[in-house]
Structure 1
Amino acid sequence: MPLINQVRPLIELPTALEHRWQTLRLLEARIEEALSRALQTEHQLSVTEYAALAALGFSDDGGHLRQQFLADSIPLNQSSVSRLVGRLEKLGLTERYLCPQDRRGVYTQISDKGRERLAAARETWVRVLREALGQAAEDPELAPAAVWLSEEAGLSQSR
């Protein structure tokens, strides 16, 4: 019976492109897990719900978007966005309405309650994002991507 290796196995993907893509995916998964835990615990929001509220709250269109634009900005497919918007609407965080000029166009508007939840959750989002990037920067495999992302965003460990 073979002994179980206690050290993480070394995986050498064939090209630098594949390796970098995998590193980016690993970094994203680690950060999303941390964000998910914190948002759910502190604000009862999923990462996708937060992303939708942020897209609406920070849109230059007054807090409302056509659902197709919302889907593209998160990104999610149209049917998933419809379910997401339905959940947010039940929570009183958004409202849906039909476009007056084109009755086929469905818009989603962030509510005042949604803006309040977004403001509170954004503090958690930024804090956890910074912490997760800081932790990833200590992992030799993830450090280049984490440092690059932090530097490009103008983040520093002191903020």
Structure 2
Amino acid sequence: MSDSPRWLTTTEERAWRGLLRMNDVLVNRTGRSLQGEFGLSGADYTVLAELTRVPGGRLRMVELSRTLAWEKSRLSHHLARMMKRGLVERTECADDRRGAYVTVTLQGREAIAAAAPQHVADVRALFLDHLTPGQITLLAEISDLVLEKLSSDD
């Protein structure tokens, strides 16, 4: 029996490496804009965006960790920095002493409200404006499919 790997074809490797590089460049460029103009890191924005998407602006830490696909220690350290800046607060879960909630503060809501228009403009200028509507739809379908398959592996 042969356990040799199924090496990537030239096109497969180009797609994979292109995806990784594109992600790095887009995250870096949008993050620079957020940091420079609003004092928010890309990670800050991501956390605030997730919290402001849910009713009450509050999630259990385990849910937030799962949604962001971050290790618990990374999330804890990042939230500690955000708490020092007044963007989020952490409260213990009354019915589960090991659990905790993260809630966006008024200051956090104001920060993301100020940054969101520029972030959307950056996403359009750096990414979406280079694609056709059909390509955007196809990319959304591909992303949904891959993420669905990966979440079923957990």
TM normalised by structure 2 equals 0.77
1:105 matched to 2:105? The reply is no
- Does residue 43 (structure 1) correspond to residue 38 (structure 2)? The answer is yes
Partner of 1:30: 25
Moved over 4 A (4+): 150-153
Instruction: Check the 8 A contact 1:94/1:108 in 2, yes or no.
Output: yes
Residue of structure 2 aligned with 1:148, choices 124, 135, 142? 135
Aligned length: 133
1:20 equivalent in alignment to 2:15: yes
**Secondary structure of the residue that 1:105 maps to in structure 2?**
strand
1:2-151 to structure 2, matched below 5 A, reads 14-60=9-55, 62-133=56-127, 137=130, 148-149=135-136
Q: Which stretches in structure 2 are left out of the alignment for 5+ residues?
A: 1-7, 141-154
Deviation at 1:101, TM superposition (A): 0.9
Deviation at 1:120, TM superposition (A): 1.0
TM-score (norm 1): 0.74
Aligned residue identity for 2:113: A
- Relative contact order higher in (CA < 8 Å, ≥ 6 apart): 1
The superposition leaves residues 119-141 of structure 1 with CA deviations (integer Å, 9 ceiling, x where unpaired) of 11111211111111157x3xxxx
Gaps of 5+ in 1: 1-12, 138-142, 154-159
String of CA shifts for 1:1-47, please: whole Å, max 9, x gaps: xxxxxxxxxxxx63433321222112211211111110000111111
Q: What do the CA deviations read for 1:82-103 (whole angstroms, capped 9, x no partner)?
A: 0111011101111100111111
Q: Secondary structure of 1:103's partner?
A: strand
Distance between the aligned counterparts of 1:132 and 1:147, measured in 2? 18
Partners of 1:93 and 1:86 lie apart in 2 by 10
Secondary structure of 1:107 counterpart: strand
1:151, CA displacement in angstroms? 7.3
Q: Compute the RMSD of aligned alpha carbons.
A: 2.3
3-state SS of 1:45 partner: coil
